[in-house]
Amino acid sequence: MIAVLVLLAYLIGSIPTAVWIGKSFYGIDVREFGSGNAGATNTFRVLGRKAGIPVLIIDIIKGTLSVALSYLSGFEFGSPEFVNLQLGLGVAALLGHIFPVFAGFRGGKGVATILGIVICILPLSCALSMIVFLIVLLASRMVSLSSMVAGISFPIFLNVVLGNTDPVLTAFSIAVAAILIVTHRKNIVRIAHNQESKINLFSIKK
Helix, strand, coil share of the chain (percent; to 5): 75, 0, 25
Asked if the structure places residue 25 within a domain, the reply is yes
Whole-angstrom distance, CA of residue 106 vs CA of residue 5: 23
Domain interval for residue 94: 2-192
Whole-angstrom distance, CA of residue 128 vs CA of residue 149: 12
Asked if the structure places residue 135 within a domain, the reply is yes
Interval 105-110 mean pLDDT: 90
113-125, pLDDT tens digit by residue?
A: 999 999 999 999 9
Asked if the structure places residue 205 within a domain, the reply is no
205 falls in which pLDDT band (50, 70, 90)?
low
Q: pTM, whole model, 2 decimals?
A: 0.87
Asked if the structure places residue 98 within a domain, the reply is yes
DSSP reduced 3-state for 98 = helix
32-74, pLDDT tens digit by residue?
A: 998 888 989 899 889 998 999 999 999 999 999 999 999 999 8
Asked if the structure places residue 119 within a domain, the reply is yes
Close Cβ partners of 161 (under 8 Å, ≥ 6 residues apart): 128
| pLDDT (0 to 100) of residue 191 | 92
| pLDDT (0 to 100) of residue 93 | 96
Asked if the structure places residue 15 within a domain, the reply is yes
Q: How many domains does the chain have?
A: 1
Region for 43 from its dihedrals, namely left if φ exceeds 0, alpha if ψ lies in -120 to 50, beta otherwise: alpha
| pLDDT (0 to 100) of residue 1 | 85
| Dihedral of alpha carbons 179, 180, 186, 189, sign | negative
Asked if the structure places residue 204 within a domain, the reply is no
136-156, pLDDT tens digit by residue?
A: 999 998 989 999 999 999 999
Contact 173, 144 (CB under 8 A): no
Give buried/exposed letters for 30-58 (b at 16+ CB in 10 A, else e). Answer: bbeeebebbbbbbbbbbbeeebbebbbeb
